[in-house]
Amino acid sequence: MKDNLKPSRRQFLKIGAAALAMIPILAVSGKVMASTNAAMRSAMKYQDKPNGAKKCETCMQFTPGKAPKDLGGCKIFPGDTEISPNGYCVAWVAKSK
């Protein structure tokens, strides 16, 4: 009976290989899901166009991307990495000069 509870080397290798094969799939799916925070965007009435002179790149909450025109992040939207520098939301606060 004790022999049935002890996994064989072959079973161990199969389970290990399956777990290793799942890592890239989980990593990619996690990044896709984390790229936008739809609930917060909706709550803060985020839009991809500015509201007059108010736009994300002039907000103190905005975290710019690698280049000035690249999408960035926002301190208000955790995990969201697709904030447009020309976007706007109701949490806009002017950067201190």
pLDDT at 38: 86
Q: Which residues contact 71 (CB under 8 A, 6 or more apart)?
A: 65, 81, 82, 83, 84, 85
Beta strand residue intervals within the chain, DSSP E: 62-63, 73-74
- The pTM is what? 0.61
Q: What is the DSSP letter of 6?
A: S
Provide the pLDDT for residue 2: 56
Give the pLDDT confidence of 61-70 residue by residue, as tens digits.
999 989 888 9
Residue 59 pLDDT: 95
Regions of the chain short of the pLDDT cut 70? 1-7, 23, 25-35
Break the chain into its structural domains and give their ranges: 2-74
**What is the pLDDT at residue 55?**
95
The maximal CA–CA distance of the chain, rounded, in angstroms, is 75
Rounded distance between C-alpha atoms, residue 64 and residue 43, angstroms: 22
Look at residue 26 in the predicted model and tell me its pLDDT: 60
| Tokens read off for 72 | 């960035």
For 94, list phi and psi in degrees, rounded to 5.
Answer: -60, 140
Question: Looking at residue 35, what is its pLDDT?
Answer: 67
Chain centroid, CA 69 distance in Å:
19
